[in-house]
Structure 1
Amino acid sequence: MTELTLQPKVYIVGAGPGDPDLITVKGLRILQAADVVLYTDSLVSEDLIARAKPSAEVLKSAGMDLDEMVELMIARVQAGQSVARVHTGDPAVYGAILEQMSLLKKADVAFEIIPGVSSVFAAAAALQAELTVPELTQTLILTRASGRTPVPEREELQSLASHHCTLALYLSSTLTKKVMRELMDAGWSPDTPVAVVQRASWPDQLIVRTTLAQLDDAMRENGIRSHAMILAGWALDPTLIDQDGHRSKLYDKSFTHRFRKGVPTHE
């Protein structure tokens, strides 16, 4: 693979959920070629950052405020350097990148976004779960419970839960009693399957399977208060894998689509 030549601009790179091999090929190539690497050291694997080129300036952003980070990136780009701003997961989801892009744009500094693997999908992989199961649920809502940081009133959890689809809850590990109350108020059964994956794809990944009624107890018993994805809904039922129902039409031999003519079945 030829060495990548980067332009003097900011590359906002999704590093993936934790496993350093879950960065995209493009994201890794940019990390390896960047003159400056500014990364979220509280969440991004040090093993991944170690893949930066030896001459790169590597800086941690956890102790910086917004102005410090952006001023640093602007200064480096204006000096003719390329900057890899490395975020955990995918930067589009709870990545706080809008405020960074706004200031970069005001400074007339070019930027590019490289998507990454979100923790919701690493969690689903760890659980060996399909989050959109035919004839059970075809919708996945990515959201968070309202806590110290509020959510818009129309996006309160109880309102979203009324759809009874799969829910993926970010940043909600300390709000499990609220999650339980709002989902039950929306008509969710106490025995609805729930799965919690802490530090998905990291070496110390922890998986907890429980029910809605037991969620708070399960979180407390396992000492989970951060870095966890909560997935809820009947798509999380671990017995689905042993059932013959809920098959997709895509591979049904009687179903005709663009690439295959279905074969009629006779009962």
Structure 2
Amino acid sequence: MTGKVIFIGAGPGAPDLITVRGYQTIQKADCIIYAGSLVNKKVLDNRKSDAKVFNSAELNLNEIVTIMEKATSENKLVARVHTGDPSIYGAIAEQIRLLKEKSIEYELIPGVSSVFGSAAALEKELTLPEISQTVIITRPEGRTPKPKDESLESLASHHATMCIFLGVGMIDKVVSELSKNYPINTPVAVVKKATWPDQEIVKGTLKDIAIKVKQANITKTAMIIVGEVLGPIDFNDSKLYDATFAHEYRDSKK
């Protein structure tokens, strides 16, 4: 018999925002590899006393997979714990590729992304009728290159709600690119460490958000959300609960 690797989304920060399935997997795991630079270590508090714990922030890809390979060859359960949801900037594809090459069984458990932790912190819906029905999740180009058609400037032309990871450290560049297609008075919010006890929120527009972020000394671990859905705007109710709108569960009341 061989063991198994289970990738777990630990959520945006608050330890009780991990899924029940993720929590139970950590409870049973013999080996835990967690993203120590981002994951709240409290999500590991329910682990077995003899579980081996590794911080992936200190490891490279081959070292991580070597640990997985050794543990699974001993019929052990490996919990690979990522921040937020591992399908967004989780670098799981490269790990899965190597697991497949080695015929190691694996599974994915989704988590609450910091996108949605930030929206909850702002008490906002990211999709409002006739304002924005599209959410773009992206990042600025840094050491990791981006396809040309996915530049912030290009994506901003849609005027949709945009959620930007890994961009607060280059806020001037982000604002410069967005301002080429969004109006300069477009609302922007920056949420640092959404759902953590030391969560911070900075609100502004493209005109002043860079100054406000610098004044707050926010340089990392923050989500940038851009779009009219953040503003104090009038919008029409959706059809979902409209009394005059009939669907298979409800008759209209005209």
The SS at the match of 1:75 is helix
Q: Which runs of 4+ in 1 moved over 3 A?
A: none
Report the Cα distance in structure 1 between the residues aligned to 2:23 and 2:164, rounded to whole angstroms.
Answer: 28
Query: For the Cα contact (< 8 Å) 1:147–1:175, is it kept in 2?
Result: no
Report the Cα distance in structure 1 between the residues aligned to 2:110 and 2:60, rounded to whole angstroms.
Answer: 23
Q: Is 1:250 aligned with 2:253?
A: no
Q: Is 1:199 aligned with 2:189?
A: no
Report the Cα distance in structure 1 between the residues aligned to 2:94 and 2:72, rounded to whole angstroms.
Answer: 18
Per-residue CA deviation, residues 71-93 of structure 1 (Å, 9 max, x unaligned), is: 11011001110000000000000
Per-residue CA deviation, residues 127-178 of structure 1 (Å, 9 max, x unaligned), is: 0000000111100000011123221111111111111010000010122112
Report the Cα distance in structure 2 between the residues aligned to 1:196 and 1:252, rounded to whole angstroms.
Answer: 33
Report the Cα distance in structure 2 between the residues aligned to 1:215 and 1:14, rounded to whole angstroms.
Answer: 30
Query: For the Cα contact (< 8 Å) 1:17–1:119, is it kept in 2?
Result: yes
The SS at the match of 2:208 is helix
Q: Is 1:128 aligned with 2:118?
A: no
- Name the count of aligned residue pairs: 253
2:153 to 137, 158, 164: 158
Per-residue CA deviation, residues 224-266 of structure 1 (Å, 9 max, x unaligned), is: 11000000000011x24xx5x32111001011112111122xx
Report the Cα distance in structure 2 between the residues aligned to 1:246 and 1:165, rounded to whole angstroms.
Answer: 17
Give 1:185 deviation, angstroms: 1.1
Larger CA deviation: 56-65 vs 107-116: 56-65
1:226 to 217, 220, 237: 220
Match of 1:217, as an amino acid?
I
**Counterparts of residues 27-46 of structure 1 (less than 5 Å):** 27-46=22-41
Report the Cα distance in structure 2 between the residues aligned to 1:55 and 1:190, rounded to whole angstroms.
Answer: 55
**Counterparts of residues 1-267 of structure 1 (less than 5 Å):** 8-186=3-181, 188-237=182-231, 239-240=232-233, 243=234, 245-264=235-254
The SS at the match of 1:84 is strand
Per-residue CA deviation, residues 49-97 of structure 1 (Å, 9 max, x unaligned), is: 1211112111211110000000110110011100000000000000000
Report the Cα distance in structure 2 between the residues aligned to 1:256 and 1:94, rounded to whole angstroms.
Answer: 40
Report the Cα distance in structure 1 between the residues aligned to 2:39 and 2:251, rounded to whole angstroms.
Answer: 47
TM-score normalized with structure 1 length: 0.92
The SS at the match of 1:32 is helix
The SS at the match of 2:179 is helix
Report the Cα distance in structure 2 between the residues aligned to 1:43 and 1:152, rounded to whole angstroms.
Answer: 26
Per-residue CA deviation, residues 190-210 of structure 1 (Å, 9 max, x unaligned), is: 111101100000010001111
Q: Which structure 1 segments of 5+ residues have no match? A: 1-6
The SS at the match of 1:71 is helix
RMSD, aligned CA: 1.1
Report the Cα distance in structure 1 between the residues aligned to 2:208 and 2:123, rounded to whole angstroms.
Answer: 21
Report the Cα distance in structure 2 between the residues aligned to 1:68 and 1:251, rounded to whole angstroms.
Answer: 52
Query: For the Cα contact (< 8 Å) 1:199–1:228, is it kept in 2?
Result: yes
The SS at the match of 2:168 is coil
Match of 1:253, as an amino acid?
A
User: What residue is the counterpart of 1:3 in the other structure?
Assistant: none
